[in-house]
Amino acid sequence: MSLHPHIPHQVKQFAEHLFATFLGLLMALALEQWREHRHELKIAGQALEGVRAELLANAKVLRDNQAIAADTARYWNETQAYMDELVLARAQKRAAQAPTPQRPDRMGAELNFRTGAWDSAKSLGLPRHLGTKELQDLTETYASLVRIQAVQDQTLVQVQGTDHRPWAQPQIYEALSIDQLYLASRNMRAVANLKGYTASVHEDMAPKLEKLAKSLQLP
């Protein structure tokens, strides 16, 4: 006969209490994790909407500037040819024979892409909630936008400070030495290349941005 007949019952009660406490903790932890997950999904959803809006805004920049960029690229190509003729005419000591380029009514289709929403979304953990392909497409798309912006900005820096306004009176170039005129022509070629590059990205890039924006969704 047991000397302590109540011990087994007390142990059983203690075990039941311990199990109930443990189960309660697990349920509380699971509930907290569920709430945290829902909160993360809400934040990710808001971040995703921001990225969608940013992609569409960048696509609109491209579409709005498409015609302007094409006219500007044509104009700067004509300008570059005009400057080349000025250099050649000066070297040959003759009058320039190229017509002065006609400035379009609208110019200055310079691209200014936004990337802030994507940068913020990454810091908020959006990539964790995206599929592999969606994340890859977004990463590559924004990398392309950054590269395009960098090419434009670098070229603009290279041509800054040079008077490249051939729509002004051609006499402004009479005071330039042939070396200065050659430098202006070289800068003009850089501007022409920039404007041509800017125009060329419009046609394909805008639809890609719009398609990507529509395809993005959380699981």
Domain ranges of the chain: 7-215
Kindly tell me the burial class for residue 138, based on how many C-beta atoms sit within 10 Å of its own C-beta (0-12, 13-18, 19 or more).
buried
Cα distance between residue 73 and residue 75, in whole Å: 5
Cα distance between residue 170 and residue 96, in whole Å: 10
- Name the region of 189 (left: φ>0; alpha: ψ -120 to 50; beta: rest): alpha
Phi, psi of 130 (to 5 degrees): -100, 155
* Predicted local distance difference test score (pLDDT) of residue 90: 81
Mean pLDDT by 10 residues, the chain (219 residues): 55 70 75 70 90 95 78 77 81 81 69 91 91 94 87 59 46 65 68 61 82 88
Tell me how far CA of residue 203 lies from CA of 59, 62, 178, 198, in angstroms.
10, 8, 39, 10
CB burial string 98-127: b at 16+ within 10 A, e below: eeebebeeeeebbbebeeebbeebbebebe
Could you report how far apart the first and last alpha carbons of the chain are, in Å? 63
* Predicted local distance difference test score (pLDDT) of residue 91: 83
* Predicted local distance difference test score (pLDDT) of residue 173: 59
* Predicted local distance difference test score (pLDDT) of residue 84: 80
* Predicted local distance difference test score (pLDDT) of residue 160: 47
* Predicted local distance difference test score (pLDDT) of residue 17: 67
Cα distance between residue 124 and residue 127, in whole Å: 9
Residue 180: how many CB atoms within 10 A of its CB? Answer: 13
Name the nearest CA neighbour of 113 among 198, 27, 43, 3.
Answer: 198
